[in-house]
Amino acid sequence: MGAALMKAVANVTGGGAIGFADVDKSKAKQVAEQMGATVYGSNAEAVQEADVVFLAVKPQALQTALEEIASIIKKRAASTRPATLVSMAAGWSIARIQAIVGKTPVVRIMPNTPALIGKGVIAYAPSPETPDHMVEEIRRMLSRTGVVDRLEEPYLNAVTGLSGSGPAFVCLFIEALADGGVRAGLPRDKALRYAAQTALGSAAMILETGKHPAELKDMVASPAGTTIAGVAALEAGAFRGAVMNAVHEASKRAAELDC
């Protein structure tokens, strides 16, 4: 995800404006050559002059990364040119990050994997210390990833469960939809293609028409027809309850990480 966001930012700022550090040196060199970016030898070196620092690490690795750069970030926070940290780690609150690096500007984001193709959702929440012009600059940097939407930080755990984890739930549904097609007699490749396009088209209808999903469902559910028979089968299997529970459990797990 870090590399995907970096490439999206490079499309806005140009690769020459980007420098980064990565534990995988060979991968870092390859990515840098593709974008014209700079590779640094350490995280500490990378944050010396950067105006915006993206913390593209897993939640379990964030504390180590923050401790490595804390002294530099604190020093810069006391200067006229503080660094703005952008964290995508689930469960790590702004307060928890600032407890390690001090009262520097922090923006929390929660991206999802469709950002890889410019069709994602990124929710973001800035700390009070983050200047408006920097918030706007970060929004601009991320603009090529899809929808970039600001909201209050307390909502981010719910975002993690919905759009952060949601692509996995949607892919599971598409896989099951395709399996249903195979069970009904379709060749596997056709079933998967039709299932994916059906999910894509249905999502586009909701976004482009502004109609509620229930209204669009009712448009295709004729009395005593095939669709309502299938809907009844889904309801018998507690389909909606299962999906709601999946989002709830993922959101709850995000909250548990902030400890």
List of domains in the chain: 2-156 (3.40.50.720), 166-257 (1.10.3730.10)
Residue 227's pLDDT is 95
pLDDT at 49: 84
CB 89, CB 63: distance < 8 Å: no
- How much is the CA Rg of the chain, to the nearest whole Å? 22
**Which residues, in sequence order, are bridge partners of residue 123?**
110, 149
The dihedral through the CA atoms of 44, 46, 50, 52 has a sign that is negative
Instruction: Give the number of other CB atoms < 10 A from CB of residue 227.
Output: 13
Distant-in-sequence, close-in-space partners of 164: CB < 8 Å, separation ≥ 6: 90, 110, 111, 112, 250, 254
Predicted confidence at residue 114, as pLDDT, reads 94
Task: Find tokens 């989002």 and name the residue.
Answer: 247
pTM of the entire structure?
0.89
Residue 26 pLDDT = 82
Q: What's residue 80's pLDDT?
A: 85
Structure tokens at 80: 């006229």
Copy the structure tokens of residue 204: 């586009």
| Regions of the chain where pLDDT drops below 70 | 259
pLDDT at 176: 98
| CA angle 248–149–15, rounded 5-degree value | 115
